[in-house]
Amino acid sequence: MSTSHDTRVADALLAWYDIHGRKNLPWQHPRTPWRVWVSEIMLQQTQVRTVIPYFERFIERFPDVTALAGAEEDEVLALWSGLGYYSRARNLYRAAILVCEEFQGHIPRDVKVLATLPGIGASTAAAIASQAFGHQTAILDANVRRVLARVFEVSDASQTVETRALQTLADACMPATRCADYTQAIMDLGASCCTARNPDCRHCPLQSMCGALQNNTRHLYPQKRLKKKLPTVASKFLLITHPDAQEVYLEKRSSDGVWKGLWCFPSLDPHVSVVSFINESFKWPAITLLPFQTLRHTFSHYHLEMDVILVKTPCDVLPEHLKGRWFNLEQALNVGLPKPIQQLLHTFFHPGACPHSMM
């Protein structure tokens, strides 16, 4: 594995970035440590175009780390609703509190200290340090892995060995100056030219030094890992409506399992009787059940088949032991909601919707 192209990689990328790179992303103007940090957390496993509106709303409400640290978690999760991977929001919130308590509200400049904060691993810490503080710290996200693996033809059956080799190359290619621009440039290249499928090698600034292009082995890099077939889990979700049909019942999920800390419809195993559950939990004598929707939502480790059942009741009194309450649409959108629940609420409350139809 040759590293003779290291200087050429940086020079070529920066020249390409000056013409083609993304220079008007909202976290670049102004480029503050806080804005860079928030953007990097949001960009974990999420595309730029999806992140931008969420970032803008989040920064408008929380313009600095102190503002986030002083907020309630429900409000933080509400602004994150729909973006997914909610542990990112909870970790960002925890880290903001930690920065205010341990560092007097000053975001650490040391990459090793950054990496110890909740939700910030080595690559995210490197991205923050390079883009916010101009440090010579190389990132290794999915885009960068793909670029370097193809240019230097790096592959190993052991993902640990492969990662170590790619990180060594990433460090070697990182220039001493224009660190923020270089970091953005290599991420942009992976997102635009050196894509996982159908890479645009003709317009790539690294084509003359790319081993995978020269040897026609682009499809081999990075090495594909066998993906396990995701199991499917079925569950009933109860959309319980207030007698006036202007409110629905939501309960906050526990701190364990999926969607922890978010507000959601009550959920049951498929074999559990809805009537029995309502009688035992709500003590309501009469209810009407109607099919509402069936949804399929995919998590990283399984598919969730959601059988959503509309529950109409003449009662509005909630027993004290319940951990939920009535919400109208406006109230519900101001707390943390999983994206499927958010969509279901819009369907239910939207004028002209046909909630009884199966979709």
Question: What pLDDT shows up at residue 6?
Answer: 67
Q: What is the pLDDT of residues 145-162, one digit of tens each?
A: 999 999 999 998 788 999
Q: Which CATH class is domain 232-349?
A: alpha beta
Domain assignments of the chain as residue spans, ordered by start: 2-197+205-220, 232-349
Contact 189, 143 (CB under 8 A): yes
Q: Does domain 2-197+205-220 have CATH number 1.10.1040.10?
A: no
**Beta-carbon neighbour count of residue 232 at 10 Å?**
11
Bond prior to 351 in cis (omega within 30° of 0)? no
Residue 323: CB atoms within 10 A of its CB come to 10
Q: Which two tokens stand for residue 213?
A: 């292009």
Closest CA to 309 of 245, 235, 233, 232: 235
Residue 5's pLDDT is: 53
Q: Would you say residue 255 has pLDDT above 80?
A: no
Percent of the chain with pLDDT over 70: 96
Q: What is the pLDDT of residues 205-244, one digit of tens each?
A: 999 999 999 999 998 888 887 778 899 999 999 999 999 9
Mean pLDDT of 107-121: 96
Query: CA–CA distance from 193 to each of 169, 189, 190, 201 (Å)?
Result: 20, 5, 6, 6
Q: Is residue 40 annotated as part of the catalytic site, yes or no?
A: yes
pTM of the model: 0.85
Instruction: Say whether 232-349 and 2-197+205-220 share the same fold.
Output: no
